[in-house]
Amino acid sequence: MSNNIVLAICQTLALQSIAALRFNFRGAGKSGGTFGEGIAEQEDITAALAFILSTPNIDHKRIGLVGYSFGASVALPVALHDERVNLLALVSPALSDTGWEQLKEYTKPKFLISGNYDFVIPPSQFQQYIKDIPEPKQCQLISGADHFWQGYEEEVGQKVTQFFVAGFSPSS
């Protein structure tokens, strides 16, 4: 929840008047519960969606998910099965081969971004996987960035926010 990338994305979204909710998965930080192998954490995302949708002035037709690293692997299956999710952004997606296969089924707009020094998803692997992802998609490989994005937070925040601004615009 206090990760540099999560903070940067949420702050940049807020500057564009896009509501952003960040939270810790169960067992992370001061959250209760224990690690659920990525399965139980999907329930955390579903609960967060229910919470944000119960908040006044939230446009139910403009809901997106952003997942960073492990969060990407948890956000993807939720986005696949939850019709309320309209946009999906995956930052340094730490997806298994199964996750990359699942992404081929996601036909809504998606944005994937990774660094060319990412050690979790090497750039050659990232570029190979994104070839098979259906449109609409935007994919970027950022020169100089690694998995932790130190020094690239503002750039990632801006790129994710641009994706959401364009995706939520009335002409979309």
- Give residue 34's pLDDT: 66
Q: Which residue has the tokens 């169960």?
A: 26
What pTM was estimated for this model as a whole? 0.93
- Give residue 171's pLDDT: 67
Asked if residues 66 and 91 have their Cβ atoms less than 8 Å apart, the reply is yes
**So where are the chain's domains?**
4-168
3-state DSSP percent of the chain in helix, strand and coil, to 5: 40, 15, 45
- Axis-axis angle for helices 40-53, 70-81 (nearest 10): 60
Q: What is the DSSP letter of 108?
A: S
- Give residue 31's pLDDT: 67
Task: Give every residue of the chain whose pLDDT is below 50, as ranges.
Answer: none
- Give residue 26's pLDDT: 57
Smallest CA-to-CA distance from 99 within 74, 82, 118, 119 is with 74
**Topology of 4-168 in CATH?**
Rossmann fold (3.40.50)
